[in-house]
Amino acid sequence: MQDYLEHYVCEESREEFARKTQYEVVLHEIRRQPIYSVVYRRNYMGKQQYFQVSFTSAGGMKNSDFIMGFKNVNDIVLSEREKNEKLTEALAAAEYTNHAKPQFLNNMSHDIRTPMNAIICFISLAASHIDNQEKVKEYLRKIGTSSEHLLPLINDVLDMSRIESGKVKIDEKPLHLPDLLHDIRTIIQPTITSKQLDFLIDTVDVSDEDVYADKLRLTQVLLNILGNGVKFNKTGGLVSLRVRQEKKAPKGCARYHFVIRDTGIGISKEFQEHIFESFSRAESATVSGIQGTGLGLAITKKIVDMMGGTITLKSEEGIGTEFDVCLTFRLTGERRVYQKVESLQGLRVLVGHLPEHLLYADGDRNALGVDGFRQRGGDPRQARHGNGR
Ligand code: ADP
């Protein structure tokens, strides 16, 4: 046995193996139970594998003879281990949920109660000053503001619980990407204007514009991230959305990166770790009184997961943030042939150049981007600081 121990049993198992297979120990055990087994690791055909040595009594007067057998139990041990790891993960997730749930309810009831109390208070104030038109107007305005805070919170909570209960399904329909970008621009523009920000959309290497996608959910994802880019920005800042198509994608599909950048307050490295958790809000956001639920990015991440995509971010405090949503869509196979626009023929256009941003404007539908401009006969060139013609 000593020889076997030294030559075959792996170092990490040696001490235990030697202790558990001592003659006296084995005798003691086989008198107590029909089979006594020890699992250990040994070197087997150039690899380390789990083996089991089993002992059973060979009968006899003193019960001191035994039979010994070896068995390769590597697959069994590894699969048990995997099962255990999964169980441990599930347990950790359940514990986290148990802990997060009261926190979730606590936050939610606090966030709902504050504007709700304000609404009740201003209604009673308005009622007691019903003849004073100015005051009533002021109270109604305040009721309006509180309701505006309440509605996104309720929407987010409902959305989250619908997603978590599996009620939200991704509904893929033909989608023309420029239409999506155009709609996004229309929706976000008022908040951009009111905050005096610059907003840019462009496309890079987008050769496929028609895909199957869930427009509603994709819009929700992009608006959530863009909305934060606006919210956590300073007056005069920049928010941009760039759509880039990857050269490689599975057959019949196209893979896109939706890259949203802002020049806002940025996100600390520590908070980046928690940014996709429900109700997580950086201290900078809560202290500065910026409204929010801390649910937007948790919902966004869940939707991106459901679409089979990924979401990553890079951020530097005081400089800005960049989110990259990578999604793969099936192509519809449709290829639009654009009518050449007479007035664009041969026209070179340039709108500006910022680091890593090629900017352009082609009037109303600038969501088409450089590629769309080219397809319509234009000649987009990059130039620095407005040197283009
Ligand atoms: P909400 O915006 O409603 O608070 P989110 O889940 O969308 O919730 O965002 C969570 C938190 O992440 C925000 O409160 C903020 O602290 C931080 N955050 C998200 N996006 C940005 C951004 N672009 N710039 C700075 N901070 C951000």
- pLDDT tens readout for residues 59-85: 766 667 889 999 999 999 999 999 999
pLDDT band at 161 (very low <50, low <70, confident <90, very high): confident
Task: Please report the pLDDT score of residue 339 as a whole number.
Answer: 66
Residue identifier of the C-alpha nearest atom 9 of ligand 1 = 294
Task: Please report the pLDDT score of residue 352 as a whole number.
Answer: 42
Residue identifier of the C-alpha nearest atom 21 of ligand 1 = 228
**How is residue 23 written in tokens?**
């003659």
Residue identifier of the C-alpha nearest atom 23 of ligand 1 = 229
Average pLDDT for 196-210: 94
Distance from residue 205's CA to the centre of ligand 1 (Å): 30
Task: Please report the pLDDT score of residue 221 as a whole number.
Answer: 96
Average pLDDT for 284-288: 61
Distance from residue 301's CA to the centre of ligand 1 (Å): 13
Average pLDDT for 346-370: 44
pTM for this prediction: 0.64
Average pLDDT for 161-190: 91
Residue identifier of the C-alpha nearest atom 20 of ligand 1 = 228
Task: Please report the pLDDT score of residue 112 as a whole number.
Answer: 83
Query: By mean pLDDT, which of 89-98, 242-251, 267-276, 339-348 is the weakest?
Result: 339-348
Residue identifier of the C-alpha nearest atom 13 of ligand 1 = 281
310 CB-contact burial (10 Å; exposed 0-12 / middle 13-18 / buried 19+): middle
Instruction: Indicate if the pLDDT at residue 338 is higher than 80.
Output: no
pLDDT band at 342 (very low <50, low <70, confident <90, very high): low
Distance from residue 231's CA to the centre of ligand 1 (Å): 8
Instruction: Indicate if the pLDDT at residue 218 is higher than 90.
Output: yes
- Measure the CA–CA gap between 149 and 115, rounded to whole angstroms: 7
pLDDT band at 385 (very low <50, low <70, confident <90, very high): very low
46 CB-contact burial (10 Å; exposed 0-12 / middle 13-18 / buried 19+): exposed
Atom of ligand 1 nearest to the CA of 275: 12
Residue identifier of the C-alpha nearest atom 7 of ligand 1 = 296
Residue identifier of the C-alpha nearest atom 16 of ligand 1 = 282
pLDDT band at 15 (very low <50, low <70, confident <90, very high): very high
Task: Please report the pLDDT score of residue 89 as a whole number.
Answer: 87
Q: Across the chain, what does the average pLDDT equal?
A: 84
Atom of ligand 1 nearest to the CA of 276: 6
Instruction: Indicate if the pLDDT at residue 361 is higher than 60.
Output: no
Distance from residue 80's CA to the centre of ligand 1 (Å): 41
Could you tell me which residue, 303 or 360, shows the higher pLDDT?
Answer: 303
Average pLDDT for 107-112: 76
Could you tell me which residue, 192 or 109, shows the higher pLDDT?
Answer: 192
Contacts of 157 (CB under 8 A, 6+ apart): 108, 293, 295
Task: Please report the pLDDT score of residue 382 as a whole number.
Answer: 41
Average pLDDT for 22-41: 92
Distance from residue 281's CA to the centre of ligand 1 (Å): 6
Average pLDDT for 231-248: 94
Distance from residue 272's CA to the centre of ligand 1 (Å): 10
Instruction: Indicate if the pLDDT at residue 242 is higher than 80.
Output: yes
Distance from residue 293's CA to the centre of ligand 1 (Å): 9
Residue identifier of the C-alpha nearest atom 8 of ligand 1 = 294
Atom of ligand 1 nearest to the CA of 298: 6
78-92 pLDDT, tens per residue?
999 999 999 998 888
Task: Please report the pLDDT score of residue 301 as a whole number.
Answer: 95
Could you tell me which residue, 35 or 381, shows the higher pLDDT?
Answer: 35
Instruction: Indicate if the pLDDT at residue 159 is higher than 50.
Output: yes
- Measure the CA–CA gap between 178 and 338, rounded to whole angstroms: 13
Distance from residue 27's CA to the centre of ligand 1 (Å): 66
Q: Which residues line ligand 1 (CB under 6 A)?
A: 224, 228-229, 232, 262, 264-267, 275, 280-282, 285, 292-298, 321
Distance from residue 302's CA to the centre of ligand 1 (Å): 16
Atom of ligand 1 nearest to the CA of 152: 3
Instruction: Indicate if the pLDDT at residue 365 is higher than 50.
Output: no
Best residue for ligand 1 mutational test, from 104, 221, 228, 230 (most atoms within 8 Å of Cβ): 228
Task: Please report the pLDDT score of residue 59 as a whole number.
Answer: 78
Task: Please report the pLDDT score of residue 1 as a whole number.
Answer: 76
Atom of ligand 1 nearest to the CA of 224: 7
- Measure the CA–CA gap between 209 and 375, rounded to whole angstroms: 12
Task: Please report the pLDDT score of residue 384 as a whole number.
Answer: 36
Task: Please report the pLDDT score of residue 363 as a whole number.
Answer: 40
Best residue for ligand 1 mutational test, from 156, 157, 280, 281 (most atoms within 8 Å of Cβ): 281
Task: Please report the pLDDT score of residue 291 as a whole number.
Answer: 67
Instruction: Indicate if the pLDDT at residue 169 is higher than 50.
Output: yes
Could you tell me which residue, 221 or 105, shows the higher pLDDT?
Answer: 221
As a whole-number percent, the residues of the chain with pLDDT over 90 amount to: 58
Could you tell me which residue, 325 or 349, shows the higher pLDDT?
Answer: 325
Query: By mean pLDDT, which of 130-144, 185-199, 293-307, 354-368 is the weakest?
Result: 354-368
